[in-house]
A and B are shown apart, each in its own frame.
Chain A
Amino acid sequence: MTLSLALEARDLSQLPSRRDEDWRWTDLRGLIRELPAPSPEATADVSAGPFGTEGEAELLVVNGRVCGDAGLLVLREGEARVVRLRFVSATAATGHGVKLAVSLAPGAHLTLLESYEGQAPDYLVDAALNVRLETGARLERVVLAGDHAEGVSVSTASVSLAPGADFAQTVLTDGARRQRLETRVEHPGESAVVRMDGAYLIADRRHADLTTAVNHSGTDGTTDQLVKGVVADQGRGVFQGRITVSPGADRTDARMGHHALLLSDRAEVNAKPELLIFADDVACAHGNTVGALDEDALFYAQQRGIPEAEARAMLTEAFIGEVIDRIVHNGAREVARAWAAKRRVG
């Protein structure tokens, strides 16, 4: 059951609901009472996305229609490029789905600067990426989800890796009416490396769900995950992280960290970190914390002369900064930093 199936079949019963364990905190069936009309072909103002002119090529997807050459996401052996991939939802009260394939031949290197841009309220969007990395290929995916406060957005990336591939991603979001950003990785071990980071800054009544699942099926694989969030007002953040180490996937090194700050009494974080380990010789660790801003640190900053509001902003920005610092692409890292500074919540 997915949003795209529901949109295609025009069948509300295809929507995931709270009865699906993986969707219990991001109920779509309870939210969507009526399926909207399919999104029309639209000309939106697409002058510049959040990544500006970083990189050398852009692939635009407006209302689920690919405007341009999807071949930009298919890299031949040894090829390298930086591509902006922009999903624009431009029409109110309509819905659309889109599927794209990203394919990297051996030794190829892609930096994918992916943005979700909500230009109208009340849209439904389901975007699916199918990603394949061959031996020695490298993908850094930086996702900036800038959905509309009244948009409903689901993005799913299914990633499969060959031995020795390197997949790194950072998902940044400030939520939507309901929003799910999901990544599933088939990890073959065999010196393949995965980094899966995320940051959510949620205010008002927005909702963001970062769900990830990594399945280690071979020996000597690495997964490193750091997700941080700050939730204010009546916002809600969801983190579901599952790392499975299959039988025989020895010498897997898997680390998961999720840390969130709640800035109001009515803010909510739902976290489900899971390490499922069926192999013996592994190094796995996870840490999960949800708490308030450190009052001692706040007083320390104030005692040095920094006004309270500024001190709060400085501390929350620094908290998220740890995730942003791990972005490899320089331009994207600066865009992310500016994004975090602008979206100071609380």
Chain B
Amino acid sequence: MLSIKNLHARVEAAEILKGLSLELPAGEVHAIMGPNGAGKSTLSYVLTGRQGYEVTDGTATLDGEDLLSLEANERAARGVFLSFQYPLEIPGVPAMTFLRTAMNAQHKARGEPEVSATEFLKRAREVAGQLKMDFDMLKRPLNVGFSGGEKKRMEIFQMAMLSPRLLILDETDSGLDIDALKIVADGVNALRSPDRAMLVITHYQRLLDYIRPDKVHVLAAGRIAATGGPELAHELEREGYDKYARAA
């Protein structure tokens, strides 16, 4: 599904990604682990089209289509979703309004009909229930005054509503206590399916106890330094990133 080849990217003058390659087939969950500054967040922003992240070499395709030439919103319409490490607060825009605007923009881009208000509400109630969210929270301005845990839950809520194909979770466990972590992980696991792929970016092995990856990649100094099974995450937890950082 997602194919990244020899990706080089820079932020301002600094080269952050230095020849990163990765194959993520549909139906699989891959974890990306790595020390601070290795380029984890940069990878997520390059894939989603944030301004200021300049690709200098390499390719990234989604089912064969070049992602890098598309605008951020066009990538979203093709099913790319990023769960932000620090979800933004949008004062003055109720969560529901925001999400419905997003959903209809995606539908429009794909040539699908708009979602009716009734249909949308029905689905929103279902999903909020699954994520044990207070439905009234959705009437409040998006993320304004929400706790860290509530914001992450709101990310998963949006993800479930928008039903993307490629899910990128950037440090989804940060700011979550263990109960919230379980709820969020359940929400993510419910989205696992043969036609979806997930990239789980994390510092710690803890999240991977709940979202079991098929593969673990170590990202160090801008490229994939090692790839293994779930056991690699445990090894990293025990031994740290030192040897990869040094090797890079």
Q: Given A295-B51, A310-B101, are A303 and B82 also a contact pair (CB < 8 Å)?
A: yes
Q: Given A310-B101, A310-B105, A314-B101, are A302 and B92 also a contact pair (CB < 8 Å)?
A: no
Interface size on B, residues (CB 8 A): 30
Q: Measured between alpha carbons, how far is A322 from B162 in the docked complex, in Å?
A: 28
Q: Measured between alpha carbons, how far is A315 from B97 in the docked complex, in Å?
A: 12
Question: Are B92's CB and A321's CB within 8 A?
Answer: yes
Question: Are A303's CB and B90's CB within 8 A?
Answer: no
Is A21 part of the contact surface with B, judged by Cβ < 8 Å? no
Is A278 part of the contact surface with B, judged by Cβ < 8 Å? no
A300 CB to closest chain B CB (Å) equals: 4
Is A308 part of the contact surface with B, judged by Cβ < 8 Å? yes
Contacting A308 at CB < 8 Å: which of B71, B98, B103?
A: B71
Q: Measured between alpha carbons, how far is A318 from B76 in the docked complex, in Å?
A: 22
Question: Are A301's CB and B102's CB within 8 A?
Answer: yes
For A297, the closest partner residue in chain B by CB is B88
User: Per-position contact with B for A303-341: 1 when CB-CB < 8 Å, else 0?
Assistant: 111111011001101110110000000000000000000
Is B202 part of the contact surface with A, judged by Cβ < 8 Å? no
Question: Are B90's CB and A300's CB within 8 A?
Answer: yes
Q: Measured between alpha carbons, how far is A200 from B174 in the docked complex, in Å?
A: 40
Q: Measured between alpha carbons, how far is A310 from B49 in the docked complex, in Å?
A: 17
B35 CB to closest chain A CB (Å) equals: 24
Question: Are A305's CB and B162's CB within 8 A?
Answer: yes
11 pairs of residues in contact across A and B, judged by CB atoms under 8 Å: A299-B50, A300-B84, A300-B87, A303-B76, A304-B102, A305-B102, A305-B109, A310-B105, A317-B92, A318-B90, A322-B91
Is A34 part of the contact surface with B, judged by Cβ < 8 Å? no
Residues of A with C-beta under 8 A to B208: none
Question: Are B105's CB and A305's CB within 8 A?
Answer: yes
Q: Given A299-B50, A299-B51, A301-B98, are A307 and B105 also a contact pair (CB < 8 Å)?
A: yes
Q: Measured between alpha carbons, how far is A305 from B71 in the docked complex, in Å?
A: 10
Question: Are A318's CB and B92's CB within 8 A?
Answer: yes
Interface size on A, residues (CB 8 A): 23
Q: Given A299-B51, A310-B105, are A304 and B93 also a contact pair (CB < 8 Å)?
A: no
Question: Are A296's CB and B93's CB within 8 A?
Answer: no
Contacting B73 at CB < 8 Å: which of A307, A318, A322?
A: A307
Residues of B with C-beta under 8 A to A294: 88
For B94, the closest partner residue in chain A by CB is A318
Is B48 part of the contact surface with A, judged by Cβ < 8 Å? yes
For A310, the closest partner residue in chain B by CB is B105
Q: Given contact pairs A303-B48, A305-B77, enumerate 18 new A-B contacts (beta carbons under 8 Å).
A: A294-B88, A297-B88, A299-B50, A300-B87, A302-B72, A304-B76, A304-B99, A304-B105, A304-B162, A305-B73, A305-B106, A306-B73, A310-B101, A310-B105, A314-B93, A314-B98, A315-B90, A318-B91
Q: Measured between alpha carbons, how far is A46 from B182 in the docked complex, in Å?
A: 64
Interface centre among A294, A300, A319 (most CB of B within 10 A): A300
For A299, the closest partner residue in chain B by CB is B50
Is B172 part of the contact surface with A, judged by Cβ < 8 Å? no
Residues of A with C-beta under 8 A to B84: 300, 303
Question: Are B73's CB and A297's CB within 8 A?
Answer: no
Residues of A with C-beta under 8 A to B91: 318-319, 322
Residues of B with C-beta under 8 A to A305: 73, 76-77, 102-103, 105-106, 109, 162
> Shortest 3 CB-CB distances between A and B: which pairs?
A318-B92, A304-B102, A305-B76
Question: Are B105's CB and A296's CB within 8 A?
Answer: no
Residues of A with C-beta under 8 A to B82: 303
